[in-house]
Structure formats: C-alpha cells, structure tokens
C-alpha cells in the first residue's frame, strides 16, 4: 500500500511545506517515488527541477531497494519557493560504505548513482538514526537556485 501523508514533520531544513510518501520495498518503489516527486514539483511550480528530482529520487530509492532489507522506504520532501529537499529513509543498513559508491571504477557497471546525485544537487548528504534507530539511514539532497554570492 502506498500512502501520502501531508502532515508536517519536525525536520525541515528549508522551511515551507513537507510531504511524505511511504512505500513497500518492491521493484515498483523507485517509479512510485519518481512519480511522487514529479507531481509534487509540478503542483508547487518547480517545473525546472522536475527532471533532476526524478533522477535523484529514483537513484536513492533504487539503492534502498537493492541494497537493504528494509520493509518500508520513506520519502520526505520539504518544498519552499526557492528549493526542495528530498530525504529517503530506510531501516536496512548503516551508513558504512554509502560513500564508497562515489568512487566506482571506469569498468564497473554500478556505483555511479550517488556521484550523479552529487553533480545535480546543490547539497546532499547522509545521516544515521543514532542510538535510538541504529539501522536507520537517511540520504538527502537539495535542489534549487544557488544562493547569490556577495
């Protein structure tokens, strides 16, 4: 079952509205997350961010599906007038090795997804669930217009 929950959550680094989608860990999860990102950004008038958001969300949800045993994958989006931050949460693995994927060799078929996220996003990162949720991993990225430099 797919559920959209527009209830605000506590963690919102950019202000604005927060939306959440909870997905079962199936092969359909990346597509559902991609469609969620598209719909949300079209409705919020962030049309210029739709393609990048679709790529990045698909990559993070596909990673959670392929590399974890989590029963549920959670996607959270915080949207304001200038930016959008997506966070993908799973319960399947700690952060160890998450950044190693940025260093895929030229002959490797996999392992470039996080480098792609890094190239498209203004910022991105990971965090663990801490002592209360030791198996939880959150990977997030922010898209939008860069801040003007002084």
Complete DSSP assignment for 6-68: ----S--TT-SEEEEEEEESSTTHHHHHHHHHHHHHHHTT-GGGHHHHHHHHHHHHHHHHHH-
Per residue in 91-122, pLDDT (tens digit) is 876 554 444 445 555 565 556 788 999 999 99
| pLDDT for 136 | 83
Output the pTM of the full model.
Answer: 0.80
Go through the domains of the chain in sequence order and give each one's CATH number.
3-144 (3.30.565.10)
Helix (H, G, I), strand (E, B) or coil at 125: strand
Per residue in 43-89, pLDDT (tens digit) is 988 999 999 999 999 999 999 999 888 999 999 999 998 999 999 99
Q: What is the spatial distance between Cα 117 and Cα 143, in angstroms, rounded to a whole number? A: 10
Residue 126's CB is within 10 A of a number of other CB atoms, namely 13
Nearest residue to 40 (alpha-carbon basis) of 52, 50, 28, 51: 50
């Amino acid at each position: 079952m797919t559920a959209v929950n527009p209830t605000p959550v506590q963690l919102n680094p950019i202000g604005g509205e927060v939306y959440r989608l909870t997905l079962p860990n199936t092969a359909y999860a990346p597509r559902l997350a991609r469609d969620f990102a598209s719909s949300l950004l079209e409705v919020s008038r962030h049309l210029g961010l739709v393609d990048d958001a679709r790529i990045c969300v698909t990559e993070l949800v596909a990673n959670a599906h392929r590399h974890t045993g989590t029963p549920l994958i959670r996607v959270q989006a915080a949207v304001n007038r200038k930016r959008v931050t997506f966070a993908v949460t799973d319960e399947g693995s700690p952060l160890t090795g998450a950044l190693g994927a940025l260093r895929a060799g030229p002959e490797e078929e996999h392992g470039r997804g996080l480098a792609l996220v890094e190239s498209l996003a203004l910022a991105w990162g990971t965090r663990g669930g801490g002592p209360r949720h030791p198996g939880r991993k959150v990977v997030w990225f922010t898209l939008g217009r860069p801040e003007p430099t002084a």
